[in-house]
Structure 1
């Protein structure tokens, strides 16, 4: 391997020097262009000036790519001899392509390019190929090398395959090297360590719904982000990043993943939550009722204690409700037109048959509310045109006044339908007695107005009704939709998003074993896949967990093993400290954690102290500070995660990961033997990369009965 490192050091020196030369050249061009641009900014641009501005923008993009590449120009090398060629070519793979501006030579190939797919798919066979628009390109691989470069310095060069030699079997060694790295407060890209099964998902065709069932730590979120970057690269002429969206579970998670796309050279992609997006589309005509504590209220309770509320939430997210809404809209459409002619003044009649023709034929492709306004506007134009014929005889203007008065009266017979009102009536049919409450909202200078107050699960049906009644703003149309933690979405949410993404280009990812919001989520991915045409869907399963050690994954698997619908996570061969379970009095938890942290010192960078509730998180946060621990409290989903040591309720940890995790109060009363409690505990355990400690203070949770019983002290 020493020869490999020496060879790569020489090549790295050459590449970095050439990159610096190109940066200097582009900067000089920028200075020249700035000096030559003496045009008055108020003058209209000529065609040549527009072209020059485009060229300048391309130069800026090129310069930015080169500047970013200086730190880590590439991470892999593949020597590939294409059929018909005399010798192999050394292909260097990086996060972004680098092309020599003098001769056009590809010094570094973008990881998303077709030829780079061989680097990820290669598994030791000499014969290899990749697909292009022109067809398959075949050849032979003689070398695959993993390279680690940090801040322009070569740190590692490992050959995972050399033609003619025995299988070196070091691919796993390189992966483990990357997995052993400590976490900071942001999710990282995995370009250099994408596995073959992950690469197949990333490169799946665009116009379909890709559903990913991935166990905790399988990299599904990162894979989805890389897929988005891949699609933008491959379909740059058809996809606009500003028309792509990532739906994240909360704002804290959005902040956590915020560095990945920029690092991959992608900007402008929308990142939001379904709730925030829905309220915006509804023009904030409804107010969201606080759901804080909803999960905690159900957490640990028996099913029958909240069965009615649970069932109501399920109904609101069901496709059955969508069908009821469609049925009601058809009924409304059939009865929408007043069943009488319009007579603006005696003797002048517009037959109801003509009005019906306009409504049911000419304007049938418009949404219902828009049709109403267009037909009424047509009627108004009709009587105004007819009035011109009698205007000279209407000396006093009595006919004109009469026509306006009759039109106003006639207009009131056309029901003005609002989504909230229609939704209220529908819910009363499905669940008699249910009501959408409203509350008084202050609107500037003491003015007040009633704005309906709804729950989060009301937003999807309201969006659907609003869409059918008022249509869609073209700016809300998506080219591609990514949904993270999708197991907590309802089928109706997916159906609504389909309306906003006509191409049906989706990446839907989650883990049924982590479906803690079961009151609105799903129990089977078929509930989503059945919403798409068979040829428009693809299902992938990621069962290997790359995040945690073998000990942590095996521990977490035991927690869920007695519950149905559980997908067992398969750990990579990375061993670490055993999971420890301790009896610690509640009053001593903070001191015990502080002592353990002292022994770890510099060996961990990020730590989560996971509690069963927001209240217990606040109390333990105070206790830890009193014990001298520098700690942060995360008790809201809109708080940024800043790294270091954090105290956080278990339901807010999903999607995050930490070097080490303490889970406190794993008692029978806080984590009873229920599916919901088991999933919450599983989520908490699988946040840990390297170390996991479990504390209980009274009777240990029966969920631990199959988990290393001999360790309970």
Structure 2
């Protein structure tokens, strides 16, 4: 198929060089999409369908493959005919007689497993997890995150194949595959609605750059090469041009991220609008046309009451004034046309009126004035913020204005909100928002603007919320996102975290998220959890020893520690001659040990995890509940084994 694309001759099929360039670009993109990926098999399953009216056999794979005659050899996993591969069961065969799963080692076919779906099943007999599925889950993890296209489960597939019109929120416990579900949903939507999404665009938003590096190979492995990935902070900084050089305290960040700031900004943007008190006189030739002040005031009030964006209203005002002039011209017996109206709208008197009553607004300058001018902030936030809250978010006036301001990430989101009040933010067709539970209401609004006319996949776990403004309920978050009617799906069946480990971590749930269902796991792994107490003087050495013991096994190893403990552990590893890397720097042939600050662990996974000093992880957060949530994240990063090494007493929920 790639050779056929490379051999295409387009020298005589286009009428001009522009069309030739466009067509050549499409061919090059096609050739790139057909590139072989080493170690990634094209097919992973087979369906033998019952005679209807005659039997049929389909091979299921990551992409469509056809032979020289154009007949399909492998069916894309996203095609409707592939759906029974994920959802059929002995209780509901969906017309399938046999399902075969293929197992690979590297790129070599090494096993297959058959399920005869027409065999009878007892009423109490549970559905079994196949051996190949178990082996795939437990396969050692090195390098970036892998796709799960061969092992998608029925409840995951239902979310993946949700239509493009609907927004879905996935509440997923650790190890349930919510991130993979979100990425595979993007791939599915690009297959089912490629022209629409190619026109409107798609975007994946993750919590940090390390996480994005970890997931960056999933969509290319599925043949999707053009999906942009970013963080909320980078997205807002790129849109506003704001360089983030400052940081906020917890209290200031919480107030700046509060949804109330949207109304404060709306008032600030409109604060410069004044009601005309003088008439506007337009001179055309020998005639003078006078629009009285009360009529101009009515036009201004009407635009304010309509609630349209500030910039659009400012552009509409001269047209409204020009229309009032044209009405007077017609009454005087003239016959003005659209060209006359355009000329009147550009008349110096009309321009002067607009500048006086509806001045231009620069979003960054406006936010800087709001945060550094106490009187202006008090005026715009009257009845919304308290005096104490105003003082908390106030900034010192920078000596050189916007360029010298030390903007924080929360300030950039405020500038983005102000920019949208002036000009509508363009909407994408679909946005995936991962680790959404950590966003502030204003950050939700920033993301919601990017999918206001499209849809979204919201992924998160309320129990893993580790910011002071973490989401308390998905209904509230979806309201801030602008998608209050989104469906909320819950994934509780885990595949990644062993049962012993998830049960240990779940001791924290009553203290951090009492309303959530406890996660279960399909995997028993006896001996996967070890908790070791040592003396304070022995802690660093015991952690290094635990890492070396984990490295004796196959797969990746993550050493997770409180951020404040990372330098000491790095020094201990270096002194012991133990190579290690930082999150996001892992490669397929590089060091297998990653030293992970607890604040960056979210979303990552390792075959073996060594957790250093749980009490320090909790103490590193501003309050106990947030600390226990951070600890919950750290405890649930392991796929095969978790070793907890501590000198201080364990947090109370874990000490029993």
- Structure 2 length normalisation: TM-score? 0.82
* Cα distance in 2, alignment partners of residues 215 and 525 from structure 1: 14
Q: What's the CA shift string for 1:21-78, capped at 9, x where partnerless?
A: x555555x25xx3xx95x9xxxx96169947973884586268437449951210111
Aligned to 1:462: 415
User: Per-residue deviation at 1:526?
Assistant: 1.3
* Cα distance in 1, alignment partners of residues 129 and 474 from structure 2: 33
1:46 aligns with 2:15: yes
Q: For 1:704, what is the secondary structure of its paired residue?
A: helix
Aligned to 1:338: 276
Q: What's the CA shift string for 1:546-586, capped at 9, x where partnerless?
A: 11211111111113334424441111133142422222234
1:208 aligns with 2:166: yes
Greater shift in the superposed pair: 48-57 or 318-327: 48-57
1:657 aligns with 2:624: no
1:81 aligns with 2:50: yes
Q: For 1:90, what is the secondary structure of its paired residue?
A: strand
Q: For 1:191, what is the secondary structure of its paired residue?
A: coil
Q: Note closer, same or farther for the CA distance 1:360–1:47 as it changes in structure 2 (3 Å cut).
A: farther
Q: Note closer, same or farther for the CA distance 1:671–1:117 as it changes in structure 2 (3 Å cut).
A: same
Q: What's the CA shift string for 1:294-353, capped at 9, x where partnerless?
A: 6xxxxxxxxxxxxxx54x544433444435555676x759x5333222358998744335
1:256 to 214, 237, 244: 214
Greater shift in the superposed pair: 692-701 or 162-171: 162-171
Greater shift in the superposed pair: 368-377 or 205-214: 368-377
User: Per-residue deviation at 1:498?
Assistant: 2.9
Q: For 2:170, what is the secondary structure of its paired residue?
A: strand
* Cα distance in 1, alignment partners of residues 428 and 440 from structure 2: 19
* Cα distance in 2, alignment partners of residues 63 and 276 from structure 1: 28
Q: For 2:406, what is the secondary structure of its paired residue?
A: strand
- 1:241–1:269 Cα contact (<8 Å) kept: no
User: Per-residue deviation at 1:263?
Assistant: 0.5
* Cα distance in 1, alignment partners of residues 597 and 112 from structure 2: 42
Q: Note closer, same or farther for the CA distance 1:572–1:252 as it changes in structure 2 (3 Å cut).
A: same
Aligned to 1:65: 34
Aligned to 1:710: none
Q: Note closer, same or farther for the CA distance 1:73–1:647 as it changes in structure 2 (3 Å cut).
A: closer
* Cα distance in 2, alignment partners of residues 79 and 62 from structure 1: 31
Q: Note closer, same or farther for the CA distance 1:53–1:322 as it changes in structure 2 (3 Å cut).
A: closer
1:699 aligns with 2:621: no
Greater shift in the superposed pair: 259-268 or 456-465: 456-465
Aligned to 1:136: none
User: Per-residue deviation at 1:419?
Assistant: 3.7
Q: Note closer, same or farther for the CA distance 1:112–1:46 as it changes in structure 2 (3 Å cut).
A: same
Aligned to 1:282: 240
Q: Note closer, same or farther for the CA distance 1:600–1:314 as it changes in structure 2 (3 Å cut).
A: closer
Aligned to 1:580: 530
2:143 to 177, 181, 185: 185
Q: What's the CA shift string for 1:582-633, capped at 9, x where partnerless?
A: 22234433332333344444413321222112x3101110111101211224
* Cα distance in 2, alignment partners of residues 705 and 685 from structure 1: 14
Q: Note closer, same or farther for the CA distance 1:479–1:627 as it changes in structure 2 (3 Å cut).
A: same
* Cα distance in 2, alignment partners of residues 241 and 679 from structure 1: 40
Aligned to 2:568: 619
TM alignment of 1:89-488, pairs within 5 A: 89-102=56-69, 104-125=70-91, 127-128=93-94, 140-150=95-105, 152-161=107-116, 163-164=118-119, 171-240=129-198, 243-284=201-242, 287-290=244-247, 309-310=250-251, 313-323=253-263, 325-326=265-266, 332=271, 336-342=274-280, 349-353=290-294, 355-356=296-297, 359=300, 367-372=309-314, 375=317, 411-412=355-356, 414-419=358-363, 421=366, 423-424=370-371, 425=377, 426-427=380-381, 430-432=385-387, 433-434=390-391, 435-437=393-395, 450-472=403-425, 476-488=426-438
User: How many equivalent residue pairs?
Assistant: 609
1:690 aligns with 2:640: yes
* Cα distance in 1, alignment partners of residues 548 and 386 from structure 2: 56
Q: Note closer, same or farther for the CA distance 1:671–1:412 as it changes in structure 2 (3 Å cut).
A: same
- Unpaired segments of 5 or more residues in structure 2? 329-346, 372-376
Q: For 1:574, what is the secondary structure of its paired residue?
A: coil
Aligned to 2:595: 647
- 2:90–2:120 Cα contact (<8 Å) kept: no
Aligned to 2:332: none
- 1:142–1:162 Cα contact (<8 Å) kept: yes
Q: Note closer, same or farther for the CA distance 1:406–1:75 as it changes in structure 2 (3 Å cut).
A: closer
* Cα distance in 2, alignment partners of residues 516 and 208 from structure 1: 28
Aligned to 2:335: none
